[in-house]
Amino acid sequence: MRPPREQRRAAVWGGLVTAVLAALIVAGSRNLNHFDAALVGYTFATLFAAFAITYRYSMWLQRPPTRMYWRRGWSVFLTPRFIGGNLVEAVRRLTLSFAANRFIFRRGRLRGAAHWLIMWGCVLAAAITFPLVWGWIHFETVPGRLDRYQIYLFGFPAQSFAVHSVIGFVIFHGLVWSALLVIAGVMLAFRRRMVDHAAVSLQQFAQDVMPLLLLFAISVTGLMLTASYTWMKGYAYDFLAILHAITVILTLLYLPFGKLFHIFQRPAQIGVSFYKDAGSREPAARCRRCGMAYAPAMMVRDLIGVERDLGFAYEMDAADGAAHYQEICPRCRRAMFGLAQAGAWSEGLTARLAGDKD
Amino acid sequence: MAKPAELHFFIDPNRCIGCQACVQACTECDTHRGESMIHLEFIDRAASTQTVPVVCMHCEQPTCAEVCPADAIKRTGDGVVQSARKPRCIACGNCVVACPFGVPELYEDRQIMMKCDMCYDRTSVGKKPMCATVCPSQALFFGTLDQIGQLRPLSEPVNQFRFGHQVISTRVFMMMPGGLVGHRPLVDVTAAMQDRPRERAIRLTPATTDPFSQVEV
């Protein structure tokens, strides 16, 4: 049987992105000249992750509410009249929300600190390892200067630095710093998951605990590699290298399926904020029952469309023609909930009293 | 851990005396500590003392979850619709506008939607939700169908609600008059569109029948 259209479309997008990444690996490593064969396992894991993440992202975008926000978000962001202000605002919101994690710190200081440490540790590690794995970055000694290294990015020479310098030390130990950040964040997150009653009752192993274990395993085995070659004359280095590779590859395989997929979903928050900006410039929808403003009219219109796409039938027969339940504000919905019960009891009591009289 | 299957939530707004105990107790729950997730609504405060406590009804097919663009709202196997998953919620507010019962709340500063989750840290270990624990009139009751049947022999728990042409089934029950349920096994919420609460003025017309003869205690 042929898979549904959504799945075929998602598979095509997944295949396309994987093919582009593979082509970029070949181009960036200059026909694999700078590709490290020892990292081939990582490369295939990243290619698989690219396919699966794109597939899931595409499936996600095809859900009616997501599709609506995706289209509307880009449409309002790219409106020529507001594009300049939107670009400035996008930078500000990206900085506050993503670089500083402001909204997560507001949920809790320790929670914010844990996320911030894990996030920046992972960002730093990804910025180093992915280009290395794909052969997009490599180091060569400067001809005639054995004490200097030249960085090549995508095959083009970039900055050079002294091997035995502070910069050299910082660059060569980049993954150590990232591991320390991640371990500190994971410790804080695990502490919360052990003592917080809410977290204990809601957490699921595969969704909430597994990613922390994986990140911890990557960081610890990575640090053990450094410890092995720095202080232990390479003791058990091959074993540790394989162990580290297994943890990284497992995480890459887990990336599209579990909690870490929020890395790719989360930027939608910025699109939603511009959609809200556009909605606030329009007149608000007024409740059909109480007449009070309760939501942007654009949002209510779009939501009615989404609900119809999903098969909901909240249409009502009103005295003045067709109406929709979404045109009633949440407060009136709650009031009607109580009134419906009270009305039924009054009706019942009246019927009983009438019965008594008969 | 999951909510025991034999325990259910029953809501009986007619019994609500508007004491706000549920509102205060709700803030104590660990899953939304400091924030009350229950709505205690005065239907028309100027004209009536009628109040209605509204908790999440935990729909079988939750509209909030269906319209969530981030796929952040999940229903656990025991039928409890949880608050938005924090890593996913993008604070769009779709759930707030879409919920037929008007339950979810959006916290823009934290970029998160929160709602009544039936005090999951408590119910998942067999305890009552905070609101049902403190409700003095048992407008909010948590127990078995047998228990509520013994307590309210004239009432019938109903968990089907009509909104326009849409019928929604829920895990939480509303207590409705027993005799009517056979004819109309659902609560028609939109039929109450034009209803207004009873006036609080006290009528001094003597009753012809004993008004307490049908009252449950």
The per-residue pLDDT of chain B, averaged, comes to: 90
* Rounded average pLDDT over B144-171: 95
**A62, pLDDT greater than 90:** yes
* Rounded average pLDDT over A142-150: 87
Read off the amino acid at residue B126: G
**B217, pLDDT greater than 80:** no
**Interface with chain A: mutation pick from B41, B73, B188, highest number of A CBs within 10 Å:** B41
CA dist A43 and A29 (Å) reads 12
According to the model, what pLDDT value does residue B209 have? Answer: 67
> What is the three-state SS of chain A?
CCCCHHHHHHHHHHHHHHHHHHHHHHHHCCCCCCCCHHHHHHHHHHHHHHHHHHHHHHHHHCCHHHHHHHHHHHHHHCCCCCHHHHHHHHHHHHHHHHHCCHHHHHHCHHHHHHHHHHHHHHHHHHHHHHHHHCCCEEEEEECCEEEEEEEEECCEEEEEEECCCHHHHHHHCHHHHHHHHHHHHHHHHHHHHHHCHHHHHHCCHHHHHHHHHHHHHHHHHHHHHHHHHHHCCCCCHHHHHHHHHHHHHHHHHHCCCCHHHHHHHCCHHHHHHHHHHHHHCCCEEECCCCCCEEEEHHHHHHHHHHHHHHCCCCEEEECCEEEEHHHCCHHHHHHHHHHHHHHHHHHHHHHHHHHHHC
According to the model, what pLDDT value does residue B207 have? Answer: 62
* B61: nearest CA partner in chain A: A312
Of A22-36, A104-118, A318-332, B147-161, the one with minimum mean pLDDT is A318-332
Quote the minimal CA–CA distance from A143 to chain B in Å. Answer: 49
**B157, pLDDT greater than 90:** yes
Confidence of residue A317 (pLDDT cuts 50, 70, 90): confident
Of A234-248, A319-333, B91-105, the one with minimum mean pLDDT is A319-333
Closest partner residue to B98 (CB to CB) among A276, A303, A343 is: A303
* Residues A113, A181 contacting (CB under 8 angstroms): no
Confidence of residue B201 (pLDDT cuts 50, 70, 90): low
What domains does chain B contain, in order, with CATH numbers?
8-59+121-192 (3.30.70.20)
Three-state DSSP class for B140?
A: strand
* B15: nearest CA partner in chain A: A342
Contacts of B211 (CB under 8 A, 6+ apart): none
Give the percent of chain A with pLDDT over 90. 84
Three-state DSSP class for B169?
A: strand
- ipTM for the predicted complex comes to 0.90
Tens-digit pLDDT profile for residues A49-60: 999 999 999 999
Contact A340 B187 (CB under 8 A): yes
CA dist A308 and A290 (Å) reads 25
According to the model, what pLDDT value does residue A2 have? Answer: 73
Q: Does B2 touch chain A (CB under 8 A)?
A: no
CA dist B85 and B72 (Å) reads 5
**A354, pLDDT greater than 80:** no
Q: How far is CA B186 from the centre of its chain?
A: 15
Closest partner residue to B87 (CB to CB) among A262, A310, A352 is: A262
Q: At B212, which helix (H) or strand (E)?
A: none
* Rounded average pLDDT over A106-123: 96
According to the model, what pLDDT value does residue A353 have? Answer: 62
* Rounded average pLDDT over A210-215: 96
* Residues A71, A172 contacting (CB under 8 angstroms): no
According to the model, what pLDDT value does residue B73 have? Answer: 96
Contact A300 B52 (CB under 8 A): no
Closest partner residue to B97 (CB to CB) among A262, A295, A313 is: A295
Three-state DSSP class for B87?
A: coil
Contacts of A117 (CB under 8 A, 6+ apart): A181, A182, A184, A185, A188
Contact A337 B189 (CB under 8 A): yes
* Residues A39, A133 contacting (CB under 8 angstroms): yes
* B110: nearest CA partner in chain A: A103
* Rounded average pLDDT over A239-246: 96
Closest partner residue to B102 (CB to CB) among A197, A333, A345 is: A333
CA dist A155 and A146 (Å) reads 20
In our burial notation (b when 16+ CB lie closer than 10 A, e otherwise), range B8-43 reads bbbbbbbbbebbebbbebbeebbbbeeebbbbbbbb
Contact B90 A268 (CB under 8 A): yes
Contact A331 B102 (CB under 8 A): yes
Quote the minimal CA–CA distance from A80 to chain B in Å. Answer: 23
* Rounded average pLDDT over A340-346: 89
Of A142-156, A178-192, A291-305, the one with minimum mean pLDDT is A142-156
Tens-digit pLDDT profile for residues B76-135: 999 999 999 999 999 999 999 999 999 999 999 999 999 999 999 999 988 999 999 999
Quick one: A263 exposed, middle or buried, by C-beta within 10 A (0-12, 13-18, 19+)?
Answer: middle
Of A68-72, B89-93, B112-116, B209-213, the one with minimum mean pLDDT is B209-213
**Beta strands B8-11 and B166-177: pairing type?**
parallel
Give the percent of chain A with pLDDT over 70. 97
According to the model, what pLDDT value does residue B183 have? Answer: 63
The per-residue pLDDT of chain A, averaged, comes to: 93
Can you read off the two tokens belonging to residue A42? 């990582």
Confidence of residue B2 (pLDDT cuts 50, 70, 90): confident
Can you read off the two tokens belonging to residue A14? 């997944």
Contact B179 A351 (CB under 8 A): yes
Chain A residue numbers with beta carbons less than 8 Å from the beta carbon of B214 are 349, 352
Tens-digit pLDDT profile for residues B169-198: 999 999 998 876 556 688 999 999 888 887
* B100: nearest CA partner in chain A: A333
Contact B50 A342 (CB under 8 A): yes
Among the listed residues A75, A339, A198, the one whose alpha carbon sits nearest the alpha carbon of residue B54: A339
Chain A residue numbers with beta carbons less than 8 Å from the beta carbon of B125 are 201
Contact B190 A325 (CB under 8 A): yes
According to the model, what pLDDT value does residue B48 have? Answer: 87
Confidence of residue A320 (pLDDT cuts 50, 70, 90): confident
CA dist A253 and A251 (Å) reads 5
Read off the amino acid at residue B180: L
According to the model, what pLDDT value does residue A146 have? Answer: 84
According to the model, what pLDDT value does residue A346 have? Answer: 83
**Interface with chain A: mutation pick from B68, B190, B194, highest number of A CBs within 10 Å:** B190
According to the model, what pLDDT value does residue B200 have? Answer: 58
**B31, pLDDT greater than 80:** yes
* Rounded average pLDDT over B34-51: 91
Counted residue by residue, chain A has a size of 358
Among the listed residues B46, B201, B41, B153, the one whose alpha carbon sits nearest the alpha carbon of residue A339: B41
Q: Does B88 touch chain A (CB under 8 A)?
A: yes
Q: Does B17 touch chain A (CB under 8 A)?
A: no
Contact A310 B67 (CB under 8 A): yes
**A205, pLDDT greater than 90:** yes
The residues in B 109-138 lying below 8 A from A, measured between CB atoms, are 109-112, 120-121, 124-125
Beta strands in B39-149 (DSSP E): 39-42, 51-54, 105-107, 112-114, 140-143
Contact B164 A307 (CB under 8 A): no
